[in-house]
Amino acid sequence: MSATWQTIAALSITLIATKAIGPVALGGRDLPAALMRFIGLLAPSILAALIVVGTLTAADGDLEIDARLAGVGVAAGILVTRRSALLPAVAAAAMIAAAVRAVA
């Protein structure tokens, strides 16, 4: 089996398991209130980290500033004006990043 197919097989199996562990091990139990509050804050914590990683890192994980930052910056400006402007913000991010790359 080639490296490609080994990678695909291993990632699909480990991902199914990774997703299932929490629900299988913890599901159905009443979790302590403090843990529920912690869980409630996982979304903003992880989303913020994904934004940083997606905007500021290269494929190897090192920090890299490029046209993405301009695109995401404009999206942030749009979202500050109107919090629900998801599509305009996302479209603007791609267009600005493409425009910056075209002139750079």
- Tell me which residues in 3-62 interact with another protein (CB under 8 A): 3-8, 10-12, 14-16, 18-31, 34-57, 59-62
Q: Name residue 57's beta-bridge partners.
A: 63
Least distance (Å) from another protein to the CB of residue 33?
8
d(CA 52, CA 69): 10
Residues of span 59-78 touching another protein by CB under 8 A: 59-63, 67-68, 71-72, 75-76
Separation between Cα atoms, residue 79 and residue 99, nearest integer Å: 20
What's the min distance (Å) between Cβ of 103 and another protein?
Answer: 12
Q: Name the residue among 94, 48, 88 with its Cα closest to residue 71.
A: 94
Applying the rule CB under 8 A, the residues between 76 and 95 that interact with another protein are 76, 79, 82-87, 89-90, 92-95
